[in-house]
Structure 1
Amino acid sequence: MSEFKSLPKYFHAFPRYGSPPIDSQMDDPLKLNNVFNNNWKQLYESIPKEDEFYSYKLLIIGRHGQGYHNAATIRYGWNEWDKYWSMLQGDEFSNWVDSKLTPLGERQVQIIGETVLLPMIKQLGFLPHVFFSSPLRRCLETFIGSWGVVFGSYMGNDTNNDGSTRKHVNVEILENLRETLGKYTCNERVDRSVLLKEYQNFEMGNNNSSLCLKLDNDYPEVDRLWVTYPRESRSELDERIHKVLIELFSKITDEQRLISITCHAHVINSILRNLNHPPILNLETGKIVCTVVQVKKRTSPQKNL
């Protein structure tokens, strides 16, 4: 049996084992099974409790909002992007190496925060236990723009032990949670020091919270994964994402059940394949999918983030 798998009957995108793919432009993959009356708390409380062999998680998996590379794909068309523009650092309109969000992308993720994440968290009554993200800048900006809406409305102004009211929001950065490697310069990471300079302690949520990026001590300064050629194949991507899922689940305890992941379209597709979840097609920038996952317990002790 696999180490982890999605469970059916919670969402419209996975009503039963063997379900066909769903086109997210035609059907809403976040639609809850009718038995839950469109209530996230009812769904969460129906998730099985941990036992001797398995723990269970509700994953909130978000695709980043539109980046400058996405805008360029629209501007030039897919064929021209793939054979020429994707290998450049940018054009007269923008630079897309480790692309940031466009103004449209910023609006997309803010809308998702207001219309999806905030209502979800208000119904659940608590925030995700752990946040994970790709290190690429469009994902960090997506996290800030979408979850920042929730922090601004939900976290309140309780006083910390030092008398301050600002909350630190920890986000665990996983290097291998990145988009398909090779060829496309938009998927090359900027240096670690640049990430920390641009986003560490970033004020968010009406300035009542700040971003705290959690990187391993040996996290490399320069990008060691991206290469000009060859481009990573689907099977290679799936193998990499399988490893990062093992890493992700090893970093959380059995009691940490609500997990946020901010990443990329191909990574989301690979996560779903690794979890034996039916494909969700045409997931637009900024959109979210959720799935309940059964995780086989490992013998090694877990680290509480």
Structure 2
Amino acid sequence: MMGGEQHAESYLELSNVPGYFLQDEEATDPAKFDYTSNFGLIERPYGTDADFDPDGRQTQWQRFEQHIRQLNAESDATTSYRVLFLGRHGQGYHNVAEDFYGTEAWDCYWSLQEGDEKGTWIDAHLTPLGVAQAQTAHSAWESQLAQGIPIPQSFYVSPLNRCLATANVTFSGLNVGFEPIIKENIRETIGLHTCDKRSTKAEIAAEYPLYTFEEGFTETDPLWDAQLRESNSARDARLLQAVREIVAGDSNIFISLTAHSGAITSILKVTGHRPFALTTGGVIPVVVMVRNVHGRAPVMEIEPPTTAPKCIAEEEVKQGVRTSVEIVGLDV
């Protein structure tokens, strides 16, 4: 800093732009939503159609891409529009275990273990069903590419194995220039659950040699804590910062992120999108306006991390015995 000059403080404001996808609309039930046909793209005209497609020969996706590119072309230097393709990983072995033992028993005991007699879920891998769900996403992308869906120009992936595998199955062989970047902070809620502790950098590199690590990616997991679990509000702040970092350092418009239910929940929240739960393997695009705002970013209220809840009937949980009164949802 020279001559006492000071740089004005600013931050990136992220806001969802509704009206393009069914998942934007309150009437769309996430439980009944099928992303595989067209990722929820709404059949509608755009203001750019008259010039771009006067004869009505372009597909909905082609007209959508032109519209988004035109929004960017007409925006001032402080504003841009991005399309984030948010993909949730396929079913992992931890998902099976939670369904098997029930959420209460999972949270208070089983999630803290590395596995059971059936296998492990530390840095949980995809189940055969999870692989099939990623293959479904692959087919959905293949179908939409034939309809002119804009190809993601950048690919970001959580460092957890289930996301690395899902992205690989989803995009490999599609001729989309799949060169994924592993980004630490788009991972699932951090702490306690062993399924959310990532493998070492060397192990990831050995299994996925074509993936690139973001700058500063460490050999061992710097975030996971065996005693404390990140609060939802802390996760929101982390994902907000992660997306801000992506859009600040990456000028591409169409961006793919392969992440987790918690991470996607937070991305939707901090961009002002309505809550929209994705099934394992699901994909939704969202349009986000990015605006460089002068001044300090609004302060987010961050709740402290939590410890594992106490099991109501610990021995029954460990033994896998259902007690309908004491351990609701335990089903073996």
| TM bucket, shorter chain | 0.7 to 0.9
Deviation at 1:5, TM superposition (A): 1.0
Deviation at 1:93, TM superposition (A): 1.5
| Aligned residues of 1:182 and 1:229 also touching (Cα < 8 A) | yes
The CA distance in 2 between the partners of 1:111 and 1:128, in whole Å, is 18
Deviation at 1:21, TM superposition (A): 7.7
User: 2:202 maps to what in 1?
Assistant: 193
| Bigger mean CA deviation after superposition, 20-29 or 80-89 | 20-29
Judging changes above 3 Å, is the alpha-carbon distance between structure 1 residues 38 and 269 closer, same or farther for their aligned structure 2 residues? farther
> TM-score if structure 1 supplies the norm length?
0.81
User: 2:226 maps to what in 1?
Assistant: 228
The CA distance in 2 between the partners of 1:186 and 1:40, in whole Å, is 37
The CA distance in 1 between the partners of 2:155 and 2:205, in whole Å, is 17
Deviation at 1:79, TM superposition (A): 1.7
| Aligned residues of 2:59 and 2:147 also touching (Cα < 8 A) | no
Deviation at 1:271, TM superposition (A): 0.1
Judging changes above 3 Å, is the alpha-carbon distance between structure 1 residues 238 and 176 closer, same or farther for their aligned structure 2 residues? same
SS of 1:180's partner is coil
User: 1:95 maps to what in 2?
Assistant: 120
Asked if 1:272 is matched to 2:268, the reply is yes
User: 2:280 maps to what in 1?
Assistant: 285
The CA distance in 2 between the partners of 1:130 and 1:298, in whole Å, is 25
Percent of aligned pairs sharing the same letter: 34
Structure 1 unmatched ranges of 5 or more: 156-167, 201-211, 300-305
1:247-283 Cα offsets, whole Å, 9 max, x none, are: 1112211xx21111000001000000011000103x2
| Aligned residues of 2:84 and 2:288 also touching (Cα < 8 A) | yes
| Aligned residues of 1:10 and 1:33 also touching (Cα < 8 A) | yes
The CA distance in 1 between the partners of 2:109 and 2:29, in whole Å, is 29
User: 1:23 maps to what in 2?
Assistant: 29
> TM-score if structure 2 supplies the norm length?
0.75
Structure 2 unmatched ranges of 5 or more: 1-10, 46-57, 295-332
Deviation at 1:217, TM superposition (A): 4.2
SS of 1:260's partner is strand
Deviation at 1:108, TM superposition (A): 0.7
SS of 1:5's partner is strand
- In the TM superposition, what are the counterparts of 1:1-305 in structure 2 within 5 Å? 3-15=13-25, 20=26, 22-28=28-34, 30-35=39-44, 39-47=60-68, 48-50=71-73, 51-52=75-76, 53-114=78-139, 116-124=140-148, 127-151=151-175, 169-200=178-209, 212-253=210-251, 256-281=252-277, 283-297=278-292
Deviation at 1:125, TM superposition (A): 6.2
Judging changes above 3 Å, is the alpha-carbon distance between structure 1 residues 298 and 121 closer, same or farther for their aligned structure 2 residues? farther
Deviation at 1:289, TM superposition (A): 1.1
User: Which is greater in Rg?
Assistant: 2
Judging changes above 3 Å, is the alpha-carbon distance between structure 1 residues 94 and 286 closer, same or farther for their aligned structure 2 residues? same
SS of 2:119's partner is coil
User: 1:165 maps to what in 2?
Assistant: none
* Pairs aligned (count): 265
The CA distance in 1 between the partners of 2:15 and 2:164, in whole Å, is 27
Q: CA RMSD in A?
A: 2.2
User: 1:162 maps to what in 2?
Assistant: none
1:146-184 Cα offsets, whole Å, 9 max, x none, are: 112523xxx6xxxxxxxxxxxx73211110111001111
| Aligned residues of 1:12 and 1:28 also touching (Cα < 8 A) | no
| Aligned residues of 1:109 and 1:145 also touching (Cα < 8 A) | yes
**Aligned-partner residue type, residue 263 of structure 2:** V
| Aligned residues of 2:16 and 2:272 also touching (Cα < 8 A) | yes
Judging changes above 3 Å, is the alpha-carbon distance between structure 1 residues 194 and 234 closer, same or farther for their aligned structure 2 residues? same
The CA distance in 2 between the partners of 1:217 and 1:174, in whole Å, is 9
1:49-71 Cα offsets, whole Å, 9 max, x none, are: 24222111111110000011011
The CA distance in 1 between the partners of 2:245 and 2:105, in whole Å, is 37
| Aligned residues of 2:240 and 2:267 also touching (Cα < 8 A) | yes
The CA distance in 1 between the partners of 2:261 and 2:286, in whole Å, is 16
The CA distance in 1 between the partners of 2:162 and 2:86, in whole Å, is 15
| Aligned residues of 1:88 and 1:185 also touching (Cα < 8 A) | yes
| Aligned residues of 1:21 and 1:279 also touching (Cα < 8 A) | no
Judging changes above 3 Å, is the alpha-carbon distance between structure 1 residues 276 and 42 closer, same or farther for their aligned structure 2 residues? same
**Aligned-partner residue type, residue 95 of structure 1:** T
The CA distance in 1 between the partners of 2:29 and 2:232, in whole Å, is 20
The CA distance in 2 between the partners of 1:235 and 1:245, in whole Å, is 15
